[in-house]
Structure 1
Amino acid sequence: MASPSPATPQLTFRAVLLAVVLAMILAAANAYLGLFAGLTIATAIPAAVVSMGVLRLLGGGTILENNIVQTGASAGSSIAAGVIFTIPALVIMGYWPDFKYWWVLGIAGLGGLLGVLFSVPLRRSMIVEEPLPFPEGKAAAEVLKAGENPGPGLKILALAGSIGALVKLAAESGLRMIPDNAVGSGFIGKYLGYMGTNLSPALLGVGYIVGLNVGIVVLSGSILSWNIAIPIYQALFMGSDPELAARVADGSAADIAGAIWSAKIRYLGVGAMLIGGIWTLFSLRNSLASGIKSGLAAARKGGGLAVAETERDLPMKWMLVALVAFVVPLALLYQAIVGSWMVSIPMTIIMIVAGFLFVSVSAYLAGLVGSSNNPVSGITIATILFASVVLVLLLGRDSPIGAVAAIMIGAVVCCAAAVGGDNLQDLKAGYIVGATPWKQQLMLGIGAFSCALIMAPVLNLLSAAYGIGAPTPEHPNSLAAPQAMLMASVAKGLFGGKLPWTMIAIGAGIGAATIAFDEWLKARKSHFRVPVLAAAIGIYLPLELMVPIFLGGLLAYIVERRHGLSLDSDEADRDRAHRPGTLFAAGLITGEALTGILIAIPIVVSGRADVLALPEAWHFGSLVGLVVLAVVAWLLYRVSVRNGGAAESVAKPSA
């Protein structure tokens, strides 16, 4: 396919406006999803489909305009991830009573813009000279090139979005027709048994997108927590923990399991995440050094040469000016926190160095496994640990502000790393379709800052309606915010706080064993892998959240078999086979998440969690909820396989 002409419209007003609108919508949806389930999804492909449909209604758009829209809109997932993984920790720690608008805007906006700047020198080395796969970038490019008829894709998105919205409206936070979870628990002798599933279509969609491998790993982590560690603790150690035993003396089996998980067992996940974050950096040390060196060398070499329109990055001199312009406000922000230039200047230096290093790590990982599987939370843990050690030396371990300062550094780096990895993914798609890099880089900066504008109001709305962090009597089904809870725990633990270090140490041992097992699988060239951070998320989160993710992954596997695909099938064939299902899954996620945000408005205004609830006669049990989830799964399967010739068109011949 010939590259578009350099004169083909790209950064048009309508493309920029549509990108900003989609970025804000998708950022809000991903914020809800991330706080709920600890996962966010890449939004480039749904944004590209919507863009093609909207611009077609406006008279038709070029492939490069659609590429600009998906570039800007994809900032929604990265900024949301950077924010919800870190900033809620400041509320969880009690430093903020709510989310301060200008502070959140400063952290997210400046962090996102730094991510764009830090990623520019890496484009040539990672995409042009020694190209990495960037699977989601390739998939987005294929969608853009096949965009002559976006109508079916838009219909799939609209149908799935409506289904996700209706189920969320009927659930516990809305009309209360069906519960959020279907859970069974009890005692078998002395053994505490617990099993259940969340009834969320969004989690089913997440599972379909991440696939069976990740689904098995996260469910295995939860089974380790809920069906092995919790029963062992209850049977053997509950008697030596009178405070916890008194708290659940009159509770049900489910109450006891939840209390043990909250107070003790989830810290196994903390330890596993810590060791996973450190391992991520160590395993990438050579690739990181090589990527940074070749990226800077390419930028210096290209500075004085005339280059083609399809090879023009943002000018290095303007990048340096922008870097100074962005770093100065962050230095002032840190000064406002600690009140000492002797501390705020080292904080700023840590942020700059860690930001550039970890943007490079994030870009490399996105190139290998895609943005959706990019372990940004592990990168952020490493940043907070390093920052905390330095701040302990500067402020002392008993400093009341040390943990807050470490979270602030981690938040900026997390936003930068998330945006940086996403930027390279978008630039890969642009490279394939013949776009101009500097225009994409500018659009991503606009999209990132636009998303930062709405994050504080969205977080405040969700916090007031559902609660964020540990469950409370007021919000018994609060949004778990697992990464932010982890960041708060790590920072507080290093600055005089009390943590169950024995559990964290055991979790670190589990993480190390998981890494060793994964390396063994790698040496055997196994298709099945055990990413340690996915296992840690499973250990850390409630079991009922992981079950539908596993079921969605199982459904994706069944669809692959229906299409005649095998483990050795080409990734492009896999993408084509899953495209209708991926769009349906993305629609389920977006519809449910946006409805969750809309439902929060009357809850906050009225001050009543049951403001939308129907009379008791309309409340149905978990069995009806299970039937609804089964129907949604069946629809997802039907959409994924209904193209009659799909199997023949995408399957590779068997050997």
Structure 2
Amino acid sequence: LGIGFIVGIEVSLTMFAGSILSNFGIMPLIGYFSSLGKDGATVWNNPSVAINAMHVKNIAGSYVKYIGAGMMLSGGLIGAIKLIPTIVSSIKETMHAKSSNGAGSSSVGNIILLGGIVVVFIAGFVVSGGNILLAITASILSLFLSLLFVIVSGRLTGTIGTSNLPVSGMTIASLVLVTLLFVVMGWTNPANNKSLLLFGTFIVTAISVGGGYAQSQKVSFIVGGDKNEMQKYFAISGIVGVIVVVATILLLSSQLAMTGDNVPFALPQANL
């Protein structure tokens, strides 16, 4: 309802239609065909449950949920492909504006940018267990993708607003590219997966913050606010937000890792 209220009735109806399809179409079909399964066949991610003896919760948790995740990935990729013309035009407009405007960026902004680059490199190096090649290549690719999609995010904010930014599509496209790098280089163990998620988090944060920053700049210009003051407090709020979110996740990390039917603090989407 919240998303539908923000972006319109079409999205809310699409989400509702997806729920109807999954509960009254896909789930009964899987239940019917699974009941025809041979004895000895088990659920792919739960060997203790026989295919022909699955309950609704087994079908939903082991099949329908992953079908939904695949549909979300497909939607993100389709959205990313549709964004290609916008990406190209955004880069052209940005380069044109940069060349026609002699004003440079502020020193505070440059310091924050350089600090972010250093932090993401060090974090990637530490999480990867000291893999310097992974840290360098993934950092460069993540920074490039962040720069690319922040340009798109900023331009779309000026046209459709930050609430309608296709953040998921840009994030999924970025994750696919970073994942391809990891697969090609053979970085596929659990420790490397943590590094992959770290760089993905860096990219999606850059995209989201880029949209929010552009929105704040737009509002500051309209109300006659001071740009430097806005930049300063926006940076402070970002740092405070990171500290609060990371601290909360660390405090709840043991509970977030729990899976099952009756866990005290269940977040199924965090364990997909």
Q: Partner of 2:189: helix, strand, or coil?
A: coil
Change (3 A) 1:473 1:284: closer
Q: Distance in 2 between matches of 1:230 and 1:302?
A: 57
CA deviation after TM superposition for structure 1 residue 342, in Å? 1.9
Q: Distance in 1 between matches of 2:10 and 2:257?
A: 28
Superposed counterparts of 1:128-527, under 5 Å: 207-240=4-37, 242-244=41-43, 247=49, 256-304=55-103, 314-315=105-106, 319-338=109-128, 339-394=130-185, 396=186, 398-460=188-250, 467-468=255-256, 471-475=259-263, 478-480=266-268, 482=269, 484-485=270-271
Q: Partner of 1:236: helix, strand, or coil?
A: helix
Contact in 1 for aligned 2:150/2:210 (Cα 8 Å): yes
What do the CA deviations read for 1:551-580 (whole angstroms, capped 9, x no partner)? xxxxxxxxxxxxxxxxxxxxxxxxxxxxxx
Gaps of 5+ in 1: 1-203, 305-312, 487-655
Q: Partner of 2:55: helix, strand, or coil?
A: helix
Q: Distance in 2 between matches of 1:223 and 1:477?
A: 27
Change (3 A) 1:477 1:224: farther
Change (3 A) 1:267 1:478: same
Q: Distance in 2 between matches of 1:314 and 1:438?
A: 11
Change (3 A) 1:475 1:463: farther
**Percent identical residues:** 27
Superposed counterparts of 1:32-71, under 5 Å: none
Q: Distance in 1 between matches of 2:199 and 2:251?
A: 25
Contact in 2 for aligned 1:371/1:421 (Cα 8 Å): yes
Q: Partner of 1:239: helix, strand, or coil?
A: coil
Change (3 A) 1:344 1:453: same
Change (3 A) 1:398 1:291: closer
CA deviation after TM superposition for structure 1 residue 369, in Å? 4.2
CA deviation after TM superposition for structure 1 residue 356, in Å? 0.7
Change (3 A) 1:248 1:470: farther
Q: Give the letter for the 1:363 counterpart.
A: G
What do the CA deviations read for 1:371-395 (whole angstroms, capped 9, x no partner)? 333332332222221111112222x
What do the CA deviations read for 1:473-518 (whole angstroms, capped 9, x no partner)? 44177123x3x555xxxxxxxxxxxxxxxxxxxxxxxxxxxxxxxx
Q: Give the letter for the 1:234 counterpart.
A: G
Q: Give the letter for the 2:18 counterpart.
A: G
What do the CA deviations read for 1:142-181 (whole angstroms, capped 9, x no partner)? xxxxxxxxxxxxxxxxxxxxxxxxxxxxxxxxxxxxxxxx
CA deviation after TM superposition for structure 1 residue 210, in Å? 4.5
What do the CA deviations read for 1:98-153 (whole angstroms, capped 9, x no partner)? xxxxxxxxxxxxxxxxxxxxxxxxxxxxxxxxxxxxxxxxxxxxxxxxxxxxxxxx
Q: Distance in 2 between matches of 1:469 and 1:218?
A: 27
Gaps of 5+ in 2: none
Q: Give the letter for the 1:302 counterpart.
A: N
Contact in 1 for aligned 2:80/2:170 (Cα 8 Å): yes
Contact in 1 for aligned 2:154/2:211 (Cα 8 Å): yes
> Which residue of structure 2 lines up, in the alignment, with residue 507 of structure 1?
none
Contact in 1 for aligned 2:34/2:52 (Cα 8 Å): no
What do the CA deviations read for 1:253-283 (whole angstroms, capped 9, x no partner)? xx82221111112222222222222222221
Q: Distance in 2 between matches of 1:206 and 1:282?
A: 23
Higher helix share: 2
Q: Give the letter for the 2:49 counterpart.
A: R
Superposed counterparts of 1:575-594, under 5 Å: none
Q: Partner of 1:435: helix, strand, or coil?
A: coil
Q: Partner of 1:247: helix, strand, or coil?
A: strand
What do the CA deviations read for 1:596-645 (whole angstroms, capped 9, x no partner)? xxxxxxxxxxxxxxxxxxxxxxxxxxxxxxxxxxxxxxxxxxxxxxxxxx
Contact in 1 for aligned 2:36/2:52 (Cα 8 Å): no
Change (3 A) 1:479 1:216: same
Structure with greater Cα Rg:
1
Change (3 A) 1:277 1:403: same
Q: Give the letter for the 2:27 counterpart.
A: I
Change (3 A) 1:399 1:457: closer
Contact in 2 for aligned 1:471/1:477 (Cα 8 Å): no
Contact in 2 for aligned 1:226/1:257 (Cα 8 Å): no
> Which residue of structure 2 lines up, in the alignment, with residue 34 of structure 1?
none
- After TM superposition, the runs of 4+ consecutive aligned structure 1 residues lying more than 6 A away are 248-251
